[in-house]
Structure 1
Amino acid sequence: MPKHIDPVCGMEVDETTQFKTIYKGKIYYFCSAMCKREFEKNPEVYIKEGPRGMPMG
């Protein structure tokens, strides 16, 4: 099964994760609801700058 990198924290996740979203036609996979929420607040930051570690709170 292909692995994906959580765009917020950089963790490896697989496609079976329940935390995913589609942005501009691409599916992004997350390790947690917290990372998914953080990405959805400002996806361009994570797409352009890459993972920044686990979000706080």
Structure 2
Amino acid sequence: RKDFPLTGFVEVRWDNEEKRVVYEPVRLPQEFRRFDFLSPWEGTDYVLPGDEKAKGS
């Protein structure tokens, strides 16, 4: 019984019709995502209109 998903190269399951263990290649419905933690979006300072005076105080 598989209670949680595992990612590997081979899926192992029991086939009731053939009464044997079946090994099949894993097919993922969605591509594996790569996360870029050194993103250029970090640390940007936006100046809002009318906010110039608040920054100088």
Normalising by the residue count of structure 1, what TM-score does the alignment of the two structures yield?
Answer: 0.18
Query: Which structure has more helix as a fraction of its residues?
Result: 1
Quick check: which has more Rg, 1 or 2?
2
